[in-house]
Chains A and B, each alone.
Chain A
Amino acid sequence: MNVHEGRVWTFGDDVDTDLIVPGRFLILEPSEIAQHVMAGIRPGFAELVEEGDIVVAGENFGSGSSREVAPRALREVGIVAVVAKSFSRIFFRNSVNLGLAPVVCPDAGVIEEGQSIRIDFDLGEVLIIETGKRLAAGVLPSEVAAIMEAGGMVEFLRTRLSESQL
């Protein structure tokens, strides 16, 4: 997956994982949790999203709790990538491990809800389809991209363990 195009949902700064998946839902199984994704900030979000959509946000996306069901719920409802000015590091790692692409884009604030963007993961670029504007984005370091390209940490480990590379 080196390029992905999708419709955008926008969020602000400091979107805490407590807002993505409030604590009262953690007792549920991940598939049930997904139906409540963004319950703390945009209730009903799961019904709005279609497979391939993209979340665009401000600074410090995914801050707070390490709960991995936050990125997992986003992926399960169809979100393929999160484009943010910056990420909380635990959310960033969790996303990579689950195959949800975290894209650092300092100018993400110019992207509007409902627009479509094309992310070039290798080039490190976000293109806003409607305006033709191109934004610089981060490229995953090769060590981290290897996990993403394997499809997440489980598949990465499966390969590495069988090859005794770890």
Chain B
Amino acid sequence: MGMTLAEKIIARGAGLPEVSPDEIHWADVDLAMIQDSGGPRRIWPMLDELGVGIWDPDRVVLVADHYVPAQDVNAARILQTTRSFASKFGVDNFYEAEGISHTLLVEKGHLRPGMLYVGGDSHTCTGGVMGCLALGMGSTDLLGVLATGRTWLRVPHTVRVDVAGVLEKGVTAKDLMLTMIGERGMAGAIYRVLEFTGSGVAAMSIDERSVLTNMCAEIGAKTGVIAADEVTINHLRDLGVEVDEGPSSDGDAQFLDTWRYDASNTVPVIARPHRHDDVVPAADLVNTPIGRAYIGACTGAKYEDLAMAAEVLAGRRVAPGVLLQVAPASAGALARAMADGTAQILVESGAQLLSTGCGACPGIGSGVLGPGEVCISTTSRNAQGRMGSPESKVYLGSAYAVAAAAVAGEIVDPLTVMGVPA
């Protein structure tokens, strides 16, 4: 019987000819990522307690993205520990303040089709955009991986998400995922892998595809995956990495279900506070005033998100009383935005440019919200207090929607601001 992409990767890692859903196997990990918040500061003492080092430092990527730049002495200490860890354990793949791990690992070509990749962060699933099985874990799970190179996995059922059609102008992968999550709930894919297929996915760039896999965390999925195709291979080739397409699901693979979406029917949507599955069309929320607009995070501040915002903001000004903040997801995204004038448009519109990193999304970095503040954000989560004060409110939308709201001073349908006919 055929296997799904996820099953093939686990079977290879476990050294077995085939695996089936719900079996538990120990598997060899190809690449492990740890970040500054849950990484060295938590894992190093446990490695010392066990008296072991890292199984293969060349298979580890360490990213300081949560506490950069240091906002106080405690954060500075966390970053010092992170640097010392890299040097002590010989982790040469170390990035500080160069971007958010999930964006960086795609941008730098660390992730390759067919890899079994684990990371110490719930948005590790983003990496599935490169055709690998990308699994988020906690600190102590990563301890096990760093010490032994192995981890246990329950073979997941796969749901195929077939996206027909192509997104209309002004409508994004973010709108598609929020729509899906709104329909199916935060636990809509719990324990499942979502494999995205279809013409709507094929037509998307790596940046946009990565929103599909990124937001699998928000629908409770184990991860998301997109089999590598020409777009994936070309992305790696541009980075000087030559690979073949890697595994894909067999024609007779067993999918638990197939969810069908038509990208061309998707409209701009917004998730309301304090649940990211409370999703309505942006047009239904007009006249909702906002004081803060935030373009940031692995979900919503890649180069193309910055370009979307610039498309709306060109020749316009951020409304009086609104603070628009932009924290690019990576230095690479910022460099591209500077090279082609995107960054200039953002700044001229009145946007405040913040440093690259996780920023205010997890309520840690620059731009956190105070009591009573109402924000519209390109991030992926809006649980009460996520971005700061428990008395703040966060609406979630695309970069188009956030930029349009920043100009209007209230939530609007971005298509009306952009002059796209309904």
Using a CB–CB distance below 8 Å, which chain A residues touch chain B?
13-14, 16, 18-19, 22-24, 26-28, 39-41, 59-60, 63-68, 86, 88-90, 93-94, 97-98, 141, 143-144, 152-154, 157-158, 160-161, 166
23 examples of A-B residue contacts, CB within 8 angstroms: A18-B383, A22-B385, A24-B363, A24-B385, A27-B74, A27-B78, A28-B74, A40-B385, A59-B187, A59-B190, A64-B217, A65-B122, A65-B381, A66-B38, A89-B190, A98-B140, A141-B24, A141-B154, A143-B24, A143-B26, A154-B49, A154-B143, A161-B52
Q: If A63-B220, A144-B152 touch, does A97 touch B141 (CB 8 Å cutoff)?
A: yes
> How many angstroms from the CA of A26 to the CA of B71 in the assembled complex?
13
| Contact assessment for B362 and A66 in the assembled complex, using a CB-CB cutoff below 8 Å | no
Please indicate the chain B residues that have their CB under 8 angstroms from the CB of A64 in the complex.
Answer: 122, 217, 381, 383
CB-CB under 8 A for A22 and B390, given A27-B364, A143-B24: yes
Establish whether residues A23 and B138, one from each chain, have CB atoms under 8 Å apart when the complex forms: no
Give B375-391 interface residues, CB cut-off 8 Å to A: 381, 383-386, 388, 390
Kindly provide the distance from the CB of B290 to the nearest chain A CB, expressed in whole angstroms: 21
Query: What sequence of 0s and 1s flags, for each residue 190-210 of chain B, a beta carbon within 8 Å of any chain A beta carbon?
Result: 110000000000000000000
In the complex, which residues of chain A have a beta carbon less than 8 angstroms from the beta carbon of B381? 16, 18, 64-65
| B345-388 interface code vs A (CB 8 A; 1 in, 0 out) | 00000000000000000111000100000000000010111101
The answer to whether B139 and A60 have CB atoms under 8 Å apart is: no
Q: A65-B121, A86-B190, A97-B144 are in contact. List 10 more A-B contacts (CB 8 A).
A: A18-B362, A23-B364, A24-B388, A63-B186, A63-B187, A66-B138, A68-B140, A152-B140, A154-B46, A161-B148
B210-230 interface (Cβ within 8 A of A): 217, 220, 222
- Complex Cα gap A160–B220 (Å): 32
Closest to A87 in B: B190
In the complex, B75 has a CB within 8 A of chain A: yes
What 1/0 mask marks residues of chain B from 127 to 167 whose CB sits below 8 Å from any chain A CB?
A: 00000000011111101100110101010000000000000
CB neighbours of A16 from chain B (8 A): 381, 383, 386
Q: Which residues of chain A come closer than 8 Å to B362, judged between CB atoms?
A: 18, 23, 26, 65
Docked Cα-Cα span, A19 to B384, in Å, equals 7
Task: Return A120 CB to nearest CB of chain B, in Å.
Answer: 22
Residues of B within 8 A of A (CB-CB), count: 51
| From B37, B143, B186, contact of A60 by CB (8 A) | B186
Report the minimum CB–CB distance from B145 to chain A (whole Å). 10
B339 on interface, CB distance cutoff 8 Å: no
Cβ-based interface call for B50 (8 A)? yes
Which residue of A is nearest B45, CB measured? A154
- Count of CB-CB pairs between chains A and B under 8 Å: 136
Question: Which residues of B11-49 are within 8 A (CB) of A?
Answer: 24, 26, 37-38, 42, 46, 49
Give chain A residues whose Cβ lies under 8 Å from the Cβ of B140. 68, 94, 97-98, 152-154
* Chain B residues positioned under 8 Å from A158 (CB to CB): 50
Q: Is the CB of B138 within 8 A of A93?
A: yes
Considering the chains assembled together, what is the distance between the CA atoms of A41 and B362 in angstroms? 17
Across the interface, do B50 and A157 meet the contact criterion of CB distance under 8 Å? yes
B120: CB under 8 A from chain A? yes
Q: Which of B168-204 contact A (CB under 8 A)?
A: 186-187, 190-191
Residues on A with C-beta less than 8 A from B152 are 143-144
> Which residues of chain A are near B190, meaning CB under 8 Å?
59-60, 86, 88-89
A161, B51: Cα distance in complex, Å:
10
A40 to B385, CA, bound (A): 7
Given known pairs A24-B388, A143-B152, A166-B150, the reply for A90 and B137 (CB within 8 Å) is yes
Give the contacting residue for B38; candidates A18, A67, A89, A98; CB below 8 A: A67
> 8 Å CB contacts to A: which residues of B268-283?
275
| Most chain B beta-carbon neighbours within 10 Å: one of A40, A41, A90, A161 | A90
B383: chain A residues at CB < 8 Å are 16, 18-19, 40, 64
In the assembled complex, which residues on chain A have CB atoms less than 8 Å from the CB atom of B46? 154
CA distance A28 to B121 in the complex (A): 18
Are A22 and B78 in contact, with the CB atoms below 8 A?
no
Closest 7 CB pairs of A and B: A23-B363, A68-B138, A60-B187, A94-B138, A97-B140, A18-B383, A23-B362
Residues of A within 8 A of B368 (CB): 24
Q: Is the CB of A66 within 8 A of B143?
A: no
Q: B67: CB under 8 A from chain A?
A: yes
Which B residues are CB-close (under 8 A) to A143? 24, 26, 152
- Please determine whether B120 and A66 come into contact, CB atoms closer than 8 angstroms: yes
**Which residues of B are found within 8 Å of A39, using beta-carbon distances?**
385
* Shortest Cβ distance from B55 into A: residue: A166
Residue of B nearest to A27 (CB): B74
Known: A97-B140, A166-B150. A90 touches B122 (CB 8 A): yes
A145 to chain B, nearest CB (A): 11
A14 engages B275 (CB within 8 Å): yes
CA–CA, A68 and B140, complex, Å: 8
Closest to A154 in B: B46
Q: Which chain A residue shows the least CB distance to B75?
A: A27
A93-B138, A143-B152 known; A66+B49 contact, CB < 8 A: no
Pick from A14, A26, A94, A166: contact of B186, CB under 8 Å: A14
Return A53 CB to nearest CB of chain B, in Å: 22
Contacts of B72 in A (CB 8 A): 27
Instruction: Convert B101-144 into 0s and 1s, putting 1 for each residue whose CB lies closer than 8 angstroms to a CB of A.
Output: 00000000000000000001110100000000000111111011
